[in-house]
Chains A and B, each alone.
With several copies, the nearest count.
Chain A
Amino acid sequence: MGDLDQLYQELILDHARRRVGSGLAPAEGLSADHHERNPVCGDEITLRVRVDGDRIRDVSWEGEGCSISQASASMLSQLVTERAPLPRNEASALIDGFRTALRSRGTMELDEDVYEDAAALTGVSKYTARVKCAMLAWVALEAALAALDG
């Protein structure tokens, strides 16, 4: 598999098309929104996290962007929502680990058992210019969770 095919795996292109969690869920109960933008390419996302106390019920989003950013939002939404109710601190740990791996310039891998489909984004870490695309939704979730505390 060439480098490009490694980056654009079928799973990624598929998530980019399916966009799991896209369309904001109604803001019932406790929820927080965050809008995040990549100034370089203009990609943007509005992400909504709905919680029950310190557990996350689901993550939904709306946005525009490249296939990496769309796939990543889709994968994040699927990962969190499938594990719901997910403790917020576990979500934070997931985000931290994701960031570390993506910033590793190809030296670290995302564990499939932990990150499920999102583990396919491992290859992005070799493309420093694309790390921001893959991080967009994750940063938005981090900010939305922080807003809940603020």
Chain B
Amino acid sequence: MTIPTETIDLAAVRADFPALHREVDGCPLIYLDSAATAQRPQSVIDAELAFVTGANAAVHRGAHTLAAEATDLFEDARATVAGFVGAAPEQLVWTSGATAALNTAAYAIGAAGLVREGDEVVVTEAEHHANLIPWQQLASRTGAVLRHIPVHEDGTIDVSAAASVISSRTRVVAFAHVSNVLGIVNPVADLVALAHGVGAIAVMDACQSAPHLPLDLPGLGVDLAAFSGHKMLGPNGIGALYGTAELLDALPPVFTGGSMVTTVTLETAEFLPAPHRFEAGTQPVSQAVGLAEAVRYLDRLDMGAVHARERMLEQRMREGLRGIDGVRLLGDADAERIALCAFAVDGVHAHDVGQFLDARGIAVRVGHHCAQPLHRRFGPAATVRASAGVYTTEDEIDALIDAVGAVRGYFGAA
């Protein structure tokens, strides 16, 4: 990293996030659940508010001034968010979130006949359910076979196993850029090369990378990618499906309705080109405008600086947790990572750990984090996950480590 972490003025950043300044049970909130949903800066809240009180109208539909203003804002937002991931505006389809984006991808690929009986769809063992079940369902709809790439004990993808799982029968390889449990940046170049080597579509779940790393989707070479606004300082209810122009043009729409058609008769409908073809119905316009402001905010911080700072937090968190007796980290590889750790505490159930931390104002997530197969692979049914955001301080990481250190004593497990 060449960018010094000092470029981020953390006090100023924290002042921008109103939700951080509340208390929980009399303790100041320490929000370490950003991987589930991130808090939003005031400028994102204001952008939505300005839209709702000023230009609120349906887009692409009216001649009146409000509608024209709304349409301009909506398409400007598309260009801004597309630019943030290195893409052209036409490559960015708005969805209600990453889950909708991945489901849309799976249904469209199936409807286009790109996956058929006997074909294979490949996922990794570390996927979030949102990048697993839609492919299971696609396989069961089409008669295809779902196969998986295992992960090593240290949490990294087994690339040599991937090379043997991916074969000439493979039509889709779906993987996370960064797992939401392991926090490790996956070897995208290798996976894309393997997929493209057999003519398969590479689908990337960018939910946990988009908020934390500089992201260049065309540069990574993936064919489709998905991310969610609420994890990257933006509003809930908005996300995107990115695609190469060729693939988006080849895919049929999944949900149909208003604003995505040319000619409609009672019998048939013709559809607009991408991206509008995939955007049926009234769009989440204020949310798109809010997400555009969120990525502008991230751009102002500079994603290189964000990433550099996160590496520092990540090391502090991982080292600190690793040093606590009876704490076991899931996937402890010294790979490139985001500041996220999932761990189990010997003799204390994750739910109890979470409750204990909550009593100190520390918000973490407990459970399987929508990755049951990965948990099964590593043992515990539930873990505790702490995840940082752009607003997380070193002190907050230290408070986490301190609290986790006290857990076993409290529950009589030490």
What would be 12 A-B contacts, judged by CB atoms less than 8 Å apart?
A: A4-B359, A13-B411, A37-B262, A39-B263, A39-B272, A41-B367, A43-B351, A65-B351, A66-B351, A66-B352, A68-B351, A129-B67
B68, A42: Cβ atoms closer than 8 Å = no
Instruction: Mark interface residues in B340-362 (1 if CB within 8 Å of A CB, else 0).
Output: 00000000111110011001000
A7, B355: Cβ atoms closer than 8 Å = yes
A128, B68: Cβ atoms closer than 8 Å = yes
* B387 in the interface (beta carbon within 8 A): no
A70 to B25, CA, bound (A): 26
> Majority SS of interface residues in chain B?
mixed
Q: Which residues of A lie under 8 Å from residue B79 when comparing CB positions?
A: none
* A8 in the interface (beta carbon within 8 A): yes
* A2 in the interface (beta carbon within 8 A): yes
B61, A40: Cβ atoms closer than 8 Å = yes
Q: How large is the interface on B (under 10, 10 to 19, 20 to 34, 35 or more residues)?
A: 20 to 34
Number of cross-chain contacts by CB at 8 Å: 68
Q: Which residues of B lie under 8 Å from residue A17 when comparing CB positions?
A: 412
A37 to B68, CA, bound (A): 19
Q: Which residues of A lie under 8 Å from residue B355 when comparing CB positions?
A: 4, 7-8, 127, 130
Instruction: Mark interface residues in A14-43 (1 if CB within 8 Å of B CB, else 0).
Output: 000100000000000000000001011111
A17 to B412, CA, bound (A): 10
**B-binding residues in A (CB < 8 A):** 2-4, 7-8, 13, 17, 37, 39-43, 64-68, 127-130, 133
B381, A130: Cβ atoms closer than 8 Å = no
Q: Which of B259-276 contact A (CB under 8 A)?
A: 261-263, 272
A42, B368: Cβ atoms closer than 8 Å = yes
Instruction: Mark interface residues in B4-42 (1 if CB within 8 Å of A CB, else 0).
Output: 000000000000000000000100000000000000000
Which of A66, A68, A129, A133 is the one whose CB lies under 8 Å from B71?
A: A129
Interchain nearest-CB distance for B407 vs A (Å): 11
Q: Which residues of A lie under 8 Å from residue B351 when comparing CB positions?
A: 41, 43, 65-66, 68, 130, 133
A28 to B408, CA, bound (A): 40
Q: Which residue of B lies closest to A14 (CB)?
A: B412
Known contacts A3-B25, A68-B351, A127-B68, A42 near B382 by CB under 8 Å: yes
A129, B349: Cβ atoms closer than 8 Å = no
* B366 in the interface (beta carbon within 8 A): yes
Q: Which residues of B lie under 8 Å from residue A39 when comparing CB positions?
A: 261-263, 272
A3 to B348, CA, bound (A): 19
For the A-B complex with A3-B359, A39-B262 known, give 20 more contacts whose Cβ atoms are closer than 8 Å. Answer: A7-B355, A13-B411, A37-B263, A41-B350, A41-B366, A41-B367, A41-B381, A41-B382, A42-B368, A42-B372, A42-B381, A42-B382, A43-B349, A43-B382, A64-B381, A66-B350, A66-B351, A127-B355, A129-B71, A130-B355
